[in-house]
Chain A
């Protein structure tokens, strides 16, 4: 390996913890008999270590300020998994219901009925019922706490 190639590898892998084994062996072999490159490698490793340990400036201690904010009720509640708001649920429900209802009066929907000479009232009713039941089930399940609080259904205090 030439010194030029060794320097290139020092630049490429300097400061790295994961160096491919073959590269490590080849570089170690070169550094073992080339004092200039070995000094360069050591120097750069020291520089990288210095940059990572001694460069970031001091920061004010913000622990108390941050913990105070976190402890304010409502300030740092976890938004993940929050239920969809009641208003949005009702809105989505209305859209789903009317979509299902209106789809039954569409020409494309009634065409198979005419073609098959059969009344599609039963499948339409089943589809509507299925959609509304699923929606209602999910709606109630996801708003149990809301409903309990709203209608006073929570556990009684003894």
Chain B
């Protein structure tokens, strides 16, 4: 018997399309955190983010037969999520980065605390300099493990523009870390 952990997203998509609907649960399990976080960025309210997450996965399920596997499943999912958020009638005007609202857990080591603080300050500063529609790009790069090309697919924005904004954010982050931290990071 095949373990579901052994199946990658593409395998699961193929099986779901062929009728094993229950396997979609695994895709939800793997990606709900990311989609929920993105929802929080757009809607700023846990209930709205949860509704958004359900809506995105429902749309994704309906569209599974059109998934060609040319991009990672997560990229395709984020594209659906991004479009859903952009078209959401309740959407607030500004996207809020994960960095801006991130709480600093008490359990963090001093080094991690310093990183979180630096990330909050520097990403916040970088975002402040960005046009609104490019803000989500910085988050997708830093927190959601998306490449420049994938961010281009998700948002439909030019790759070179995304690169330059992320580069700028990285530079600010490095300088901020250098200013606030001494020694290495554990």
Measured CB to CB, the residues of A under 8 A from B are 7, 10-12, 14-16, 39-40, 42-44, 46-48, 50-52, 54-63, 65-67, 69-71, 75-81
Contact = CB atoms under 8 A, between A and B. Distances in A.
18 contacts: A11-B167, A11-B170, A11-B171, A11-B174, A44-B174, A44-B177, A47-B177, A57-B33, A59-B32, A59-B37, A59-B53, A60-B50, A62-B53, A63-B29, A67-B28, A79-B62, A80-B63, A80-B65
Interface of B: 21-22, 24-25, 28-29, 32-37, 40, 46, 49-50, 53-54, 57-58, 61-66, 98-99, 102, 112, 115, 119, 142-145, 147, 167, 170-171, 173-174, 177-178, 181, 184-185
Contacts of B184: 39, 42-43
Contacts of A69: 54, 58
A71 B54 contact: no
Contact of A70 (B58, B63, B99): B58
Given A67-B22, A67-B28, A77-B62, A55 B171 contact: no
A39 B62 CA distance: 48
A16 B46 CA distance: 32
Contact of A55 (B25, B40, B66, B102): B102
B185 A55 contact: no
A57 B185 contact: no
Nearest to B168: A11
B180 to A, nearest CB: 12
B78 to A, nearest CB: 13
Contact of A57 (B24, B58, B98): B98
Contacts of A56: 33-34, 37, 98, 143-144
A79 B58 CA distance: 12
A43 B177 contact: yes
